[in-house]
Amino acid sequence: MSKQSIITGEVLLLCERVEMAQFMHAYLRHLFKQGISLPNMQIVNYQSIDKLDLLTKRLIQLEGREIVQKAVFFADAADERERRMQKFFAVRDNTFFRGVEYCTHFFFPGKKATKRWQKGYLEDMLLQSLRRESSECSYYNLYNMSAEYLQSVNCCRGRENRLVNYSRHLLYTYLAGTERYVGMRLGEAALAGAFDLEHPCYASLKECLQGLN
């Protein structure tokens, strides 16, 4: 948010971390190519739940703040999901967003068929949609080798220092074993076609964004 000095979108998509913001950029481009019409959106990386108060103080000072009509807070549905949800409610009801027409939240990796939030991270959604042809060799061999390597890493790190977002590390390990996607961040890999963005796991995200019309 520190690099942004003006608000240009009537809809704000507020993302918890940079990888989330970059993926949302890629996904919006995908929807545009599919002919799906959406309002003018601006993606903001608020960096962490604990920095939301700083974000709201910053937004109220920016030029263009009066054009904001809708907002969505994006975050991972990891541990402390209830605390995160209550934080969103507090920010929505007591800050800049109180005057916004519509304000909601979305937890990755999205909702189950029962409409309940799944526990996990953005990367869990990406893993589900990883294209089998993303690897020049056998997808299953590379995937299993990546998983075995990370299991060894986790053991070396010890029980008290296990990898928090395991799927994130698994994705980067897998992509490092390809020619096309090695060195890319997840948003870049999404733009380059590593994931099937029409996969059913994106249904709730697509529904959320289309609901902003």
Per-residue pLDDT tens over the stretch 124-169: 999 999 999 999 999 999 999 999 999 999 999 988 899 999 999 9
CA angle 134, 138, 142 (to 5 degrees): 80
Whole-number Å distance between alpha carbons of 50 and 212: 26
The residue to which tokens 């959406």 are assigned: 38
Q: What is the pLDDT of residues 7-48, one digit of tens each?
A: 999 999 999 999 999 999 999 999 999 999 999 999 999 999
Whole-number Å distance between alpha carbons of 179 and 89: 44
CA distances from residue 183 to 27, 30, 180, 213 in whole angstroms, order as listed = 20, 22, 9, 36
Question: Mean pLDDT for the chain?
Answer: 92
The pLDDT value given to residue 1: 46
Pairing of strands 70-76, 102-108: parallel
